[in-house]
Structure 1
Amino acid sequence: MRKLLYLTCSMALIAVLTTYAMWAADRPVGHYLSDLRIHLAIDQGTPSDRGNLLGIQPELYPTDYQSPERLHRKLAAYLQSAREQGLLNDKTLVVLPEHIGTWLMVTGEKDELYQAGTLKEAMNWLAVSNPVQFARAYLSAKGSDRLDDAHLRMKAKSMAKQYQALFGGLAREFGVTLVAGTIVLPEPSVREGQLKVGHGALYNSSLVFGRDGAPIGQPQRQLHPVFDQTGVLHANTERAMSVVDTPAGRLGVLIGSDSWYPDNYRKLNAAGAQLIAVPAYVVGQGSWDKPWRGYKGLTTPSSVSLKAGEISEGQAWHRLTLIGQPPSSLATAGISVFLRGQFWDKSSAGQSFASSQGQHYADEDGRGARLLNLWL
């Protein structure tokens, strides 16, 4: 009797595990419908042989990441719209927003993840659907928030490969230099022309791709992750800020709130940066107009007198992003591009803006997908 009970339980367990394995491996591709339109919100200057700085503020949702092909279709539609309006040439420098690559973590998942009501629920589906990958990532997690660390780390190798294939492919397809927003990866680096990941801490990083689709230089890692991300993201304390040569001029990249620190502009000045790209992301519906929360637990630079609550979040971004404001920045032009859309219960609120020759250009509407163009 005992042997029979043991056999029955064993067979039941095997059946359950087999069913779970089949469920976890199944990745059906659901119906996809997305708005591919984009509005030209800013177009300043006169076309010349010096090229242009083009910011693309996309409007993205979880289903846009269901496959790399879907995300390519949407971003390619934006670039095609820019091409049709005469905004692409051999010296065009395209800038995409912060974390546009990070959401590749949800590529190729089950319908239940995309249909989740909250980000927390979606991350639970991510872990349940990839039990072995999640377990390995959790055991190797480095941050104090091991759960979020594991979610970001578990598909890092495939994310890096998809990021380079997608954004390098777009740069080559449209013949532009492309600042591919940012992606969170463990110790990213370019080796023999390929974006690779390590086994250490997670960094929010940006990579520039040339017109041939190949990476230019090493990933720029974020220097100052905001306070509510420091349990997961590591601050760049080892690598110097990099400036890369592009057909439009020498380019520096400041990720998100790195653009709030005057010393970063002095370092870019010393490196000869002529153009500055700021991939950015502000979370929370209506947060652009809410009181600014300050440096969010990080040290406030001594040269900054602005205090939390004095102005709105949006006003703070305009005040602190010092592109084209000598002597802080000697760059001739720059652009801050924000990610728009909604990822489950996390909406976005940033409104992209640009500076050129000391003039400031803001997109007062800021909703939806937008193009911001500066002729150099």
Structure 2
Amino acid sequence: MRKLLYLTFSMALVAVLTTYAMWAADRPAGHYLSDLRIKLAVDQGTPADRGNLLGIQPELFPTDYQSPDRLHRKLAAYLQQAQNQGLLNDKTVVVLPENVGTWLMISGEKDELYQAATFTEAMNWLAASNPLLFARAWLNAKGSDRLNDAHLRMKSKAMAKDYQALFGGLAKEFHVTLVAGSIVLPEPSIRDGQLKPGSGPLFNSSVVFGSDGVPLGQPQRQMHPIFDLRDVIDAEDKQAINVVDTPAGRLGVLIGSDSWYPDNYRKLDEQGAQIIAVPAYVSGHDAWDKPWRGYKGSSTPGSVSLKPGEVSEGQAWHRLTLIAQPPSSRAIAGMSVFLRGQLWDKSSAGQSFLSSNGQQFADGEARGARLLNVWL
């Protein structure tokens, strides 16, 4: 009898594991319909032979990330509309928002993930449908928030490969220099022309691709992640700020809240940066109009007198982001570009803006995809 019970239990366990393995391996492609329209919200300056800085504020949803091809379709549609309006040339520098590459972590997943009601539920589906990847990532996780670390780390090799193929491909397809927003990877670096993740802490990093699709320099790692992410994202305090040569001039990249630190502009000035790109992201419904929460756990620069609650989040971004505002920055133009859309219950609130000749220009509308352009 004992042997019979053991055999029955073993067969049932094998059946359950086999069914689970078949379920986890199944990746049906769901129906996809997305708004490919984008509006030219800001267009400053006069076309000349010096090129232009073009920001793309996309509106993205979970199903846009169901495959790299779907995300390519949407971003390529935006770029094609920019090209149709005469905004692309060999000297164009295109700027995409913070974390536009990070969400490649959900590419190739099951329909249940994209249809989830909350971010937490979606991450549960991510782990459940990739048990071995998740278990390995959990064992290698760093910091105090092992769960979110594992979610970001578990598909890092595929994410890095997809990120370079997608954004490097777009740069080559449209013959532009592309600041590919940012992506969270463990210790990313460029080796032999390829973006490769390491095995150490996670960094929020941006890669600039030339018009040949090849990365320019090393990834720019974020130096001052907001306090909310300090348990997951490491701060880069050793790597110098990168400045790369582009057909439009020397380009510096500051990710998100790195643009709030005056010393970073001094370092860019020392390297002769002429244009500055700020991929950015603000999370939370109506957060742009709510009181600014300050530096959110990071040390406040001594030269900054702004106090938490004095202004709104949006007003703080405009005051602290010193792109092209002499004498704070000697760059001729700069642009902050925000990610918009709805990722489960996580909404976004940033509104992109640019600076030129000491003046700021912004789009006041809160919804929809936007283009912002400044001729250099």
> Shorter-chain TM-score category?
over 0.9
1:28 — aligned with what?
28
CA deviation profile, 1:182-240 (whole Å, cap 9, x unmatched): 00000000000000010000000000000000000000000000001000000001211
Partner Cα distance (1:62, 1:145) in 2: 23
2:237 — aligned with what?
237
Q: Which 4+ residue blocks in structure 1 deviate beyond 2 angstroms? A: none
Displacement after TM superposition at 1:359 (Å): 1.6
Partner Cα distance (2:95, 2:144) in 1: 32
CA deviation profile, 1:38-60 (whole Å, cap 9, x unmatched): 00000111000000000000000
1:340 — aligned with what?
340
Aligned 1:78-227 pairs, distance under 5 A: 78-227=78-227
1:304 — aligned with what?
304
* 2:170 counterpart letter in structure 1: L
Structure 1: which 5+ residue stretches go unaligned? none
C-alpha contact 1:287 1:313 (8 A) present in aligned 2: yes
* 1:80 counterpart letter in structure 2: Q
Three-state SS of the structure 1 residue aligned to 2:28 is: coil
* 1:78 counterpart letter in structure 2: Y
Displacement after TM superposition at 1:327 (Å): 1.6
* Worse-superposed segment, 354-363 or 10-19: 354-363
Displacement after TM superposition at 1:366 (Å): 3.5
Displacement after TM superposition at 1:17 (Å): 0.1
Partner Cα distance (1:294, 1:178) in 2: 31
C-alpha contact 1:226 1:295 (8 A) present in aligned 2: yes
Three-state SS of the structure 2 residue aligned to 1:355 is: strand
C-alpha contact 1:352 1:366 (8 A) present in aligned 2: no
CA deviation profile, 1:52-71 (whole Å, cap 9, x unmatched): 00000000000000000000
- Alignment RMSD (CA, Å): 0.5
Percent of paired sites with the same residue: 79
Partner Cα distance (2:98, 2:109) in 1: 22
Partner Cα distance (1:182, 1:144) in 2: 23
Displacement after TM superposition at 1:85 (Å): 0.2
1:280 aligns with 2:294: no
Partner Cα distance (2:175, 2:229) in 1: 35
1:72 aligns with 2:78: no
* 1:45 counterpart letter in structure 2: G
Partner Cα distance (2:366, 2:101) in 1: 21
Three-state SS of the structure 1 residue aligned to 2:291 is: coil
Displacement after TM superposition at 1:325 (Å): 1.3
2:51 — aligned with what?
51
Partner Cα distance (1:65, 1:171) in 2: 19
1:256 — aligned with what?
256
Query: If the length of structure 2 is used for normalisation, what is the TM-score?
Result: 1.00
CA deviation profile, 1:305-325 (whole Å, cap 9, x unmatched): 000000000000000000111
2:2 — aligned with what?
2
Aligned residues: 376
Partner Cα distance (1:36, 1:118) in 2: 25
